[in-house]
Amino acid sequence: MGHEVAQSKTTGVSPANGVLPGMKLFAGNANRELALRVADYLGIQLGRLTSTKFSDGEIRIMVDESARGNDVFLLQPTCAPVNDSLMELLIMIDAFRRASARRINVVMPYYGYARQDKKIKPREPVTARLVADLITVAGANRVVCIDLHTEQIMGFFSMPGDHLYAGPIIGRWMIEQGYQEEDIVVVSPDVAGVSRARSLAEMLKAPIAIIAKRRPEPNKVDIIEIIGDVQGKKCVMIDDMIDTGGSIIQGAEALLKRGATEVVASCTHAVFSGNASQRLQDSPISKVIALDTIPIGSEKMFSKLTILPSAPLIGEAIRRIHLNESVSELFDKWR
């Protein structure tokens, strides 16, 4: 089935110019295509690195060029297969630490294991903190993430970090598509996402609504109430990720029952587990907007899906970090 890939003009940043001496960008296997696009934005070649497996499944990393004294950026979202992606990242960090890199910057467009960020029930782990500890102990000096499941995760790191927001990319695309002129309302699919929805609503000059829900168990949602007026409105839902699609689809159905005329869903991370793509295609949602922080294979593509590029945002953040320029200035009008 077809899908739409938007052009980079929606990102609001311009390609980097000139040479970036002393900086190298490397990538694992999790999203090499994105890393190539980031390297192209920066005007550099992606560093040479070999990642294979031993016969028993252990990951083997070989850095095929010198990294001594360099400001090294490792691009690796910890997406599916999550455990392989995470372990590959940790081994890459160790390899570059032993290769005498001056600074190791971990760029994680998608932070896996983020949903368990606090202890709710007895004997539960806090996996978001565990992953942060693993990255720290492995030898990273800085971490860069896009739209963490909760912002408190940045506090789990004892090193400097940058939290990037994809909302402005989504907002600019919607303005270009004329959504700012529509009778719309921005909807947060849960109470935790109100800040994200409010920022997008300010960009689009629209009101917000909130879906109050509870989760009796993982990937199960009970909608309790919708706060805000959606009668006769086009609703734009925004979330950090879409996993199985159940939560966003149930939210869309509830909005339509309350009188919404149309529901558009947007997210940063298109996890799309299981048959999520087919469920979204068959749902009453008219369009799904997502970024390419996670590789979206052909089997997960569907006609309602529009993919927005994240490489200019990531590339600009990397350029600013290397040159010791402000990263937060990219989001002055967002937060």
Per-residue pLDDT tens digits for 73-100: 999 999 999 999 999 999 999 999 999 9
Question: Whole domain around residue 275: which residue ranges?
Answer: 167-309
Indicate if 28 and 155 belong to the same structural domain: yes
The burial of 317, by beta-carbon neighbours within 10 Å (0-12 exposed, 13-18 middle, 19 or more buried), is given as buried
Q: What is the pLDDT of residue 166?
A: 97
Give tens-digit pLDDT for 180-206.
777 999 999 988 899 999 999 999 999
Cα 163 vs. chain centroid, distance in angstroms?
A: 10
Domain for residue 279, yes or no? Answer: yes
Domain for residue 2, yes or no? Answer: no
Indicate if 197 and 182 belong to the same structural domain: yes
The least confident of 101-105, 188-192, 222-226 is: 222-226
Cα–Cα distance for residue pair 324/254, rounded to 1 Å: 47
Q: Please check the confidence at residue 40 and state whether its pLDDT lies above 80.
A: yes
Q: What is the pLDDT of residue 11?
A: 47
Q: How confident is the model at residue 297 (pLDDT cuts 50, 70, 90)?
A: very high
CATH assignment of the domain containing 211: 3.40.50.2020
Indicate if 147 and 23 belong to the same structural domain: yes
Q: How confident is the model at residue 4 (pLDDT cuts 50, 70, 90)?
A: low
Active site residues: 213
Q: How confident is the model at residue 120 (pLDDT cuts 50, 70, 90)?
A: confident
Q: Which three-class secondary structure state does DSSP give residue 42?
A: helix
**115: its two tokens:** 């949903």
Give the whole-number percent of the chain exceeding pLDDT 90: 85
Indicate if 241 and 260 belong to the same structural domain: yes
Q: How confident is the model at residue 10 (pLDDT cuts 50, 70, 90)?
A: very low
Strand-strand pairing, 49-53 and 59-63: antiparallel
Per the prediction, the chain carries an average pLDDT of: 92
C-alpha radius of gyration, the chain, whole number: 20
Domain for residue 259, yes or no? Answer: yes
Indicate if 157 and 19 belong to the same structural domain: yes
Dihedrals phi, psi of 285, to nearest 5 degrees: -65, 130
Please state the pTM of the whole predicted model: 0.91
Indicate if 162 and 172 belong to the same structural domain: no
Q: How confident is the model at residue 332 (pLDDT cuts 50, 70, 90)?
A: confident
Indicate if 160 and 178 belong to the same structural domain: no
Q: Please check the confidence at residue 12 and state whether its pLDDT lies above 60.
A: no
